[in-house]
Copies of this chain bind each other. A is one copy, B any other.
Amino acid sequence: MLSETGNGLYDDAMDALPDIIVDPVECRLGYQLRRASAVMMADLGMALAEIGLRPAEATLLSLIGVNPGRSQSDFGRQLGIKRANMVPLTAAMLKAGLIEREATDGRSHALGLTSKGEALRARAEAIIEAHEARFRAGFDDKRLAALVADLIAIRETSPDGRHVAPRAGRE
């Protein structure tokens, strides 16, 4: 269909197109969020790879560090990670000797850090802080606070567009 006439429909592509694509999605909030998030996640992933951690593992280490004794499901809810997906995550960290578990309930498992996990948590937080500082470089305190507040507001927006406060991940 395109080559019916022998002349291309897009021949102007060969000489007259501007260098810069016209981008109608640059003004979309969701698109910009996704691109910015991808950049920071890639940078964090590279930085944490040096100590053998993935972002989700480092985040969980931080959270367990200040909340020892909460259940696996509690941590999952707080981070927006589903129960089913917490299993391989905690299994890998158990196997690596970073966390320990104890049945509190018969069905609940309390999580805590081993000494090895605590040591790695400290290293991870130093790496994360350096990573965060790189991206905070262009922002003053006020702008950064406004940005974080906006991101939380977006996360807490309900499907009808109202800003509410669920605060934790759903399942």
Contact = CB atoms under 8 A, between A and B. Distances in A.
A85 to B, nearest CB: 13
Interface in A107-125: 110, 112
Copies of this chain in the oligomer: 2
Interface string A136-150: 111100011011101
**Chain A interface, >50% SS class:** helix
Nearest to A105: B14
A42 to B, nearest CB: 10
A138 B155 contact: no
Interface of A: 1-3, 8-14, 17, 21-41, 43-44, 55, 59, 62-63, 65-71, 74-75, 78-80, 100-102, 104, 110, 112, 128, 131-139, 143-144, 146-148, 150-155, 157, 159-163
